[in-house]
Amino acid sequence: MPVAGNSSGFGGRMTVDLGALKRNWQALDRVSRGALTGAVVKADAYGTGLSEASRAFYQAGARFFFVATPDEGIQVRASVPEDAHIFVLNGLFPGAAPLYVGERLMPCLCSVPMVEEWIRACVASGKALEAALHFDTGINRLGLRLSEVSIIKRLIDSVGYKPQMIMSHLACADIPGHEKNRTQLALFTSIMAQFPGIPASLANSAGLMTNRENHFQMVRPGIALYGGRAVAGRANPMSPVVTLEAPILQIKDVKTGESVGYGALQTMARDSRLAIIAIGYADGFFRSLSGSNAHRGSRVMINGRPAPVVGRVSMDMIGVDITDFPQIPRPGDMAEIVGKTITIDDHAEVAGTIGYEILTSMKGRYSRNFIESAATPTE
Ligand SMILES: *Cc1c(COP(=O)(O)O)cnc(C)c1O
């Protein structure tokens, strides 16, 4: 069993439900019927374990994987059977073509020099090596500019090269009403017309879940596979994947008027009882989840009851309010930091961020275990 930062067993525990990962992939595959459904597994599969998650998606039916870096690509290549296709979203790192060829990684080429380098690799090897062309339709991040379409066409036509896929990325897919979604879709469609017969891909999770017109030949969900909320302001239909628990270290009674934690930012308004829990910002429990007299902190769940964070989050621990608990939990009992009743998106709202950041930051001093749950009737 892979152990992250808790091999003694006396610490926190992350549990990743591979069954939920598979069901989430299959659910999105049904939504995007008619298009191929990829799996974005960058950043250690959003913190859930790159090899294990990739194998789960493969078993569910995924054959197209998206990573950010060549190293992630190498790890996926080693984890899933040979017929998997692996796209590297960050493109072709200069000088990396031989590595990509050896590991059969497909760069998402996003600049003219990248395309030139790839074509040189094709000529050198005498093969039409597979790659995607990534166009920037308005996010102004990675991608070829529209003004470069004709240069690219000339370049690839000169050697008779055909890309495997053309793609672009939406900037505002999580806000379905945002007009940028329409302009990007229109620009992408106009680029597609320049590359007839080449499969196209535009949608991330939110793009997939909000508009069929975004599906084209391949969709690229990430966050929704991991149970996160993809679309702002909507109920999240995905199955929860990650549970994070951390042990209670001490129960502490605090008198009215006493403060808790660094900076003495929160003073108890009544005689209170706290549970001190072994998770802190060094484990990805952000300091912005702290409570103070001015701001409510986030919360965790203990025995199915919410316990609000009191005072500053420390490096290694937090204090939570359990004053109203009918039964006093004991040191060693586990608090649920993330799970079915408290989600990454709940924490994200308090911290002023998104579930993606909470999830990908959860790599601390706890073990990571994998389970494979069966579907529940509601899934
Ligand atoms: C990360 C990423 C995705 C997946 O996005 P989600 O919002 O997590 O679904 C898709 N495409 C590109 C280019 C990405 O960088």
Ligand 1 mutation pick, 40, 133, 137, max ligand atoms within 8 A of CB: 40
Ligand 1 mutation pick, 167, 169, 344, max ligand atoms within 8 A of CB: 169
User: For position 363, what pLDDT does the model report?
Assistant: 87
Return the sign of the alpha-carbon dihedral for residues 269, 275, 280, 284.
Answer: negative
Give how far Cα 7 sits from Cα of 3, 168, 356, 362, 368, Å.
6, 42, 26, 17, 10
Told to judge if 281 belongs to the known catalytic residues of this protein, a careful annotator would answer no
Low-confidence ranges of the chain (pLDDT < 70): 1-4, 377-379
Catalytic residue among 22, 42, 356, 366: 42
Q: For residues 232 and 246, what is the distance between their CA atoms, to the nearest angstrom?
A: 29
Tokens describing residue 71 = 């190293």
Q: For residues 344 and 14, what is the distance between their CA atoms, to the nearest angstrom?
A: 13
Report the run of H or E that residue 153 belongs to, with start and end.
helix 149-159
Told to judge if 262 belongs to the known catalytic residues of this protein, a careful annotator would answer yes
Domains present along the chain, CATH in parentheses: 32-226 (3.20.20.10), 242-371 (2.40.37.10)
Return the sign of the alpha-carbon dihedral for residues 302, 308, 309, 310.
Answer: negative
Q: What are the φ and ψ backbone dihedral angles of 202, each rounded to 5 degrees?
A: -130, -35
For residues 88 and 100, is the Cβ–Cβ distance under 8 A?
Answer: yes
User: For position 364, what pLDDT does the model report?
Assistant: 84
Catalytic residue among 153, 162, 262, 340: 262
- Cα(43) to ligand 1 centroid in Å equals 11
Q: What are the φ and ψ backbone dihedral angles of 356, each rounded to 5 degrees?
A: -55, -45
User: For position 379, what pLDDT does the model report?
Assistant: 53
